[in-house]
Structure 1
């Protein structure tokens, strides 16, 4: 079957389409990492508020209202963060140690800020990779 000028352009079109697909996948993964980074900060802040303000108010001042408010707020922030970890890790490329550190960081006061740095570094490396 003789080739036509149209057939000669197909590989280029496919490689361009693959390049666009790869770029959009990297963009989606970077966006997912940014969401995870934001959730990590929110989770860390709510944990610090809960442990640093609400719990002492309950035990030192006898005021349980702060815990009744911050407890569920932190619980929701943690669940959102955990769900975003699962979604992000499902895309692949994460070592079990990295995933464990993401969850462990959520259990420790200020740990979410360390997680934010880890997530930001990963997003930056993906961004550099997408620009190559």
Structure 2
């Protein structure tokens, strides 16, 4: 889940801060033509992975909503990754 979150977040940042300015400011529409579907695929993969992760264990509704909302915020995935890393470490540590 962490890796997919980072991929989704990176593609969103590339779309918003590289491809869209290239299209709007430099007149290079091919940037969004390429980056748009790449981000779309990453987003679908993220949502699919989120569903798989949430259904495999107990996740509070608040965390699920946060995981979904940050997918729409540039750099949100990087903030989210810290929480996912903590969850992974807690699951890996012996109880």
Instruction: Please report the TM-score for the alignment, with normalisation by the length of structure 2.
Output: 0.96
Work out the CA distance in 2 between the residues paired with 1:76 and 1:118. Answer: 23
Residue-pair matches, total: 95
Please state if 1:68 is matched with 2:33: yes
Q: Give the structure-1-normalised TM-score.
A: 0.70
> Which runs of at least 4 in structure 1 moved beyond 3 Å after TM superposition?
none
Confirm or deny that 1:88 pairs with 2:75.
Answer: no
Rg comparison, structure with higher value = 1
In structure 1, C-alpha distance between the alignment counterparts of 2:4 and 2:82, rounded to whole Å: 13
Q: Which runs of 5+ in 2 are unaligned?
A: none
Equivalent position of 1:101 in the other structure: 66
Residue 79 of structure 1 is matched in structure 2 by 44
Distance 1:82 1:116 in 2: 15
Q: Secondary structure at the match of 1:56?
A: helix
CA distance in 1, matches of 2:57, 2:9: 25
Q: What is the match of residue 13 of structure 2?
A: 48
Match of 1:15 in 2: none
Distance apart, 1:92 and its partner CA? 2.6
The CA RMSD measured in Å over matched residues stands at 0.8
User: Where does residue 31 of structure 1 map in the other structure?
Assistant: none
